[in-house]
Amino acid sequence: MTRLQKKLSDHKSLIVFITAGDPDMETTLQIMKNMAEEKVDCIELGMPFSDPIADGAVIQRSTSRALKQNIRLEDIFGLASRFRQQYDTPVVLMGYLNPILHMESERFILRAKAAGVDGLVIADLPFEEGEEMETLCKKHDMALIYLLAPELSTQRTAAIVKASTGFIYCIAQYGTTGSESRSPASLQSVVESIRLYTDKPVMVGFGVSSEEKARQICEYADGVVIGSWLIRELERATDKPACARDFVRNLKKAMSIQV
């Protein structure tokens, strides 16, 4: 069992997204450390990209701030490596295909693996074009997590669920991150249909923006992925690492009602 699989098993899990380098790398590292201290289950670390087509306005602003810091992939690997020296919390990189191809896919995976990264979410990688990346990730024991559309059982759903490793990432609605999610009743049916194909943890993200929504989703899913909501809170905070610490602490406490 991998570190990621072990961490996400047998309880309702909280995965949080932050952008590497927003507002700077040292603050990002301290945010990661504070969240790890509060027992966040996985950190999804965004790789800044100039054309983040899957992201809404909040994460686009975060990406823009990070790009002004001239963040490179090697900086992100260094950040993950420094974090891994102290903490065992799983780290998943989320980003877009172009920078990975520019570095060369296998080299990218090897560098990520050496830095202690556990998995990849590539927002613009269609399942139909993912065979090479799947092969490389399997070769180097790196989880590849596809984004799964919120639709009831189809042959394509079954294939994506089978190909995804680490966990199943079910998005709550069509569209970009940070927008309002569809009704919990509809989403519950989607999650239940996914379970027909797998015993992998099913996490729900995109549009989870309140403790109440997180609690509702955790009644039928294995956990939530939070991004825009946290980044919005960080934007307002003077002490961003303290804000992240309190955010994780309070949300895990709220989610524990449904465990």
Residue type for position 8: L
Q: Is 199 a catalytic residue?
A: no
Q: Which residues of the chain have pLDDT under 70?
A: 173-185, 257-259
**Res 178: pLDDT:** 46
pLDDT in tens, 202-239: 999 998 999 999 999 999 999 999 999 999 999 999 99
Catalytic status, residue 44: yes
Given the residues 41, 55, 75, 222, select the one marked as catalytic. Answer: 55
Scanning 57-195, the segments in alpha helix (DSSP H) are: 57-67, 73-84, 97-103, 105-114, 131-139, 155-163, 184-194
- The residue annotated as part of the active site, out of 38, 44, 75, 222, is 44
| Predicted local confidence at residue 53, as pLDDT | 72
How many domains does the chain divide into?
1
pLDDT of residue 259: 38
pLDDT in the model for residue 185: 54
Q: Is the dihedral of CA 45, 48, 49, 51 positive or negative?
A: positive
CATH number, domain at 96?
A: 3.20.20.70
For residue 28, give its domain range.
3-258
Given a contact cutoff of 8 angstroms between Cβ atoms, the answer to whether 127 and 154 are in contact is no
